[in-house]
Structure 1
Amino acid sequence: MDAETIRELIEKGLPDAQVEVQGDDGVHFEATVVAEAFRGKLPLARHRMVYATLGDLMGGAIHALALKTVTPDGK
């Protein structure tokens, strides 16, 4: 697994999102996801939205994904 593939999957699942993903070891990644779809949602709900875009890869090919999820205005 690589950061670019994860970015593409998240953007496909959350089309309005701006996504940055980092991770060099192939199993541990960090992502910042900025999406209007997060507005009014608690952090756990936002994370679940991102995890849903990755499906079965979470816990498998992606061992760990640290997330920062914000709306376009930084909230």
Structure 2
Amino acid sequence: MAMTASELENYIREAFPDAQIAIDDLAGDGDHYACTVVSEAFRGVSRVKQHQMVYNALQGHMGGTLHALALKTSAP
């Protein structure tokens, strides 16, 4: 099972309503994405914790429905 880019964005937007989100489907298969998330929620938070916050927003789909995610996060 694959995840669409809009589904991926919806999960992230639910957790980070203020986020600027850019998603690229790297292989055209709905399993491999590159995603940039810019949110005020990341201010003062380590990069590792930022990524954990995004993975938590995916509600367990990482590694299952979503196979690979190249993630970039930052505060505005």
TM over 0.5: yes
Bigger shift: residues 16-25 or 54-63: 16-25
Q: Identity of paired residues, percent?
A: 47
Residue number in structure 2 paired with 1:37: 41
Residue number in structure 2 paired with 1:5: 7
CA distance in 1 between partners of 2:74 and 2:40 (Å): 8
Q: Number of paired residues?
A: 72
Q: Considering fraction of residues, name the structure with more helix.
A: 1
TM-score w.r.t. length of structure 2? 0.89
Gaps of 5+ in 1: none
Give CA deviations for 1:21-47 in whole Å, capped at 9, x if unaligned. 111211111100000110111110000
Gaps of 5+ in 2: none
Task: Please identify runs of 4+ aligned residues in structure 1 that moved more than 3 A.
Answer: none
Residue number in structure 1 paired with 2:29: 25
CA distance in 1 between partners of 2:20 and 2:72 (Å): 12
TM-score w.r.t. length of structure 1? 0.90
